[in-house]
């Protein structure tokens, strides 16, 4: 489904974001990428849909090179690769429904989307997506009136409206409370199972990684230091990923911190 071939990323200031990453991710996997801040998690995720340009290597999605794609081909690959951000990236003054419909923008011309002239089937698709994340009743509310957890579920619905084959989620629960975190992760896992959408999620939290992932990838200083099933992700392995012993409160969901080595623009 996704092939990452010898991928490296070096920033203009010389920082190595990724170092010779080789990965194959199968269709329908629920992969969680873990590591401290600055380990390269966001760089990796944003490279998959080419929000970041890599320095070396190649990334293929469904056999198509997003690294080499241009114009229409690049847009088509991105249409099938939905992104969910930590900060939600919603237009706060617009309605929830309008935000979800923005997931259909890649399928229509500029004039139609600017004038909000989406076909009836797109509106129905957007409403179905909202229903799947249990927030249909907020369809005509302003996004700014929603809680953080509700806004993130709108972002998931927007991703669903793209009809993607891949969902990339970059720290989707970092700003949420524990209960809302569970709701968001439950939504992502259920969609992964029901639709067989390949899902890659960046997380800091060890307990969430173990609960939801089918496979865990550990990054440290831009390199893969662990790649295996949840059953092999022992405390000792996490200690290797984070470079120090794991504390009890960290296992219970306390975020791990380390001075960031990646540029803030990530």
Q: What is the CATH number of the domain that holds 223?
A: 3.40.50.300
Q: Which pLDDT belongs to residue 257? A: 36
Task: Please tell me the predicted confidence (pLDDT) of residue 207.
Answer: 87
Per-residue pLDDT, 107 = 81
What's the structural domain count of the chain? Answer: 1
Structural domain contains residue 258: no
Which structural domain range is residue 215 located in?
2-247
Instruction: Please answer whether residues 44 and 18 qualify as being in contact, where contact means their C-beta atoms are separated by less than 8 angstroms.
Output: yes
Please report whether residue 231 resides in a domain.
Answer: yes
Mean of pLDDT values over 130-145: 96
Burial label for 70, CB within 10 Å (0-12, 13-18, 19+), is exposed
Contact 28, 165 (CB under 8 A): no
Res 82: pLDDT: 96
Residue 204 lies in a domain: yes
- Residue 123 in any domain: the answer is yes
pLDDT at 184: 94
pLDDT tier at 261, thresholds 50, 70, 90: very low
What would the pLDDT profile of 51-101 be if each residue is shown by its tens digit? 999 999 999 999 999 999 999 899 889 999 999 998 888 999 999 999 999
Looking at the domain assignment, is residue 46 inside a domain?
yes
E-only strand ranges, 96-214: 166-170, 198-203
Q: Is 92 part of a structural domain of the chain?
A: yes
Q: Is the pLDDT of residue 153 over 80?
A: yes
Q: What is the mean pLDDT of residues 139-157?
A: 95
The answer to whether the CB of 242 falls within 8 A of the CB of 167 is no
| DSSP symbol at 68 | T
**pLDDT reading at 37 higher than 90:** no
- The verdict on residue 259 lying in a domain is no
SS3 5: strand
Residue 57 included in any domain: yes
């Amino acid at each position: 489904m996704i092939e990452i071939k010898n991928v490296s990323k070096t920033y203009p200031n010389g920082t190595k974001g990724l170092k010779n990453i080789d990965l194959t991710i199968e269709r329908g996997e629920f992969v969680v990428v873990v590591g401290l801040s600055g380990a390269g998690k966001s760089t990796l995720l944003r490279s998959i849909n080419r929000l970041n340009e890599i320095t070396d290597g190649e990334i293929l999605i469904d056999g198509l090179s997003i690294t080499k794609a241009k114009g229409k081909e690049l847009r088509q690959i991105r249409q099938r690769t939905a992104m969910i951000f930590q900060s939600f990236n919603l237009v706060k003054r617009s309605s929830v429904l309008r935000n979800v419909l923005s997931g259909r923008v890649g399928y229509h011309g500029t004039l139609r989307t600017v004038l909000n002239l989406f076909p009836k089937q797109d509106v129905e698709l957007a409403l179905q997506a909202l229903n799947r994340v249990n927030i249909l009743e907020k369809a005509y509310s302003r996004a700014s009136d929603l809680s953080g957890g509700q806004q993130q579920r709108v972002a998931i619905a927007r991703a669903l409206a793209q009809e993607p084959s891949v969902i990339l989620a970059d720290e989707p629960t970092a700003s949420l409370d524990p209960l809302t975190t569970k709701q968001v992760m439950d939504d992502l896992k259920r969609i992964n199972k029901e639709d067989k959408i390949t899902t890659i999620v960046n997380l800091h939290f060890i307990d969430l990684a173990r609960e939801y992932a089918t496979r865990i990838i550990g990054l440290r200083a831009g390199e893969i230091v662990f790649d295996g099933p949840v059953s092999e992700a022992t405390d000792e392995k996490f200690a290797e990923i984070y470079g120090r012993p794991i504390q009890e409160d960290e296992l219970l969901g306390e975020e791990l911190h380390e001075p960031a080595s990646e540029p803030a623009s990530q």
